[in-house]
Amino acid sequence: MKLLKNNFLVKFVVTLFFIGVVVGLLFYFAYKPDLSGNLEVFKELITSTHQNTFLSSIVIISAIFVLSISVLGLPAIIFYIFYEGLSIGYTFATFIWVYHIKGGLFYLLFILTSKLVFVLLVMYFVIISVRYIKKFLDHFFSKNREELYKTIVFHFYRFVIVLGITIINSLLIFFFSNKILLLVMGLIEK
């Protein structure tokens, strides 16, 4: 735990995520587009997104892994954390604007049941991917091929573990979370 408190990279990723949330909130309230019709689409998505959530989660984790293979992918990895915060903040503001307190509470429930584990997994994987890039470059330039190989294999194992947890999380969302959210969405609309 002490390692997490003193780690600049962890603080940077978490701060970037929360800056994205604040920017998303501000962006919505600055422009206030009429998205009330899109909330019906959101309700339909909750009932049928098991495939979309499952596939998009796998694609995102895999993309972070592929982007972490080269240094050129580092900005995209970092930007994704900001984007995830931005979309959460923007959607939260939409629900508050349309449904007021009930909408805010519903979206917080949505985050807790559907997004929280995935966002934490993405943050964790981004942090270890950035660390991997640093170790990879250190071993590459020091021409230590054995350590380079170990670093690559260890990063691949981490990818497989995170991917497995992501699949389990997507299955839990499909079987439990969506049903709870549909029930609560019906209560909010009354």
pLDDT, one tens digit per residue, over 31-89 is: 877 665 666 666 666 665 554 577 888 899 999 999 888 788 889 998 999 999 999 99
Report which of residues 180 and 19 the model is more confident about.
19
pLDDT of residue 15: 95
Cα dihedral across residues 155, 156, 162, 166: positive or negative: positive
Q: Contact at 8 Å (CB) between 151 and 163?
A: no
Q: Pick from 112, 113, 95: which is nearest to 104 by CA?
A: 95
In DSSP notation, 159-186 reads HHHHHHHHHHHHHHIIIIIHHHHHHHHH
Other beta carbons within 10 Å of 161: 11
Q: Is 28 helix (H, G, I), strand (E, B) or coil?
A: helix
Distance CA(35)–CA(14), nearest Å, equals 28
pLDDT of residue 84: 93
Which whole number is the average pLDDT over 9-23? 94
pLDDT of residue 1: 45
Global pTM? 0.80
Helices and strands in the chain, H and E counts: 8, 0
pLDDT, one tens digit per residue, over 120-164 is: 999 999 998 888 888 888 888 888 888 888 888 999 999 999 999
pLDDT of residue 54: 76
Model confidence band, residue 3 (pLDDT cutoffs 50, 70, 90): very low
Q: Contact at 8 Å (CB) between 118 and 106?
A: no
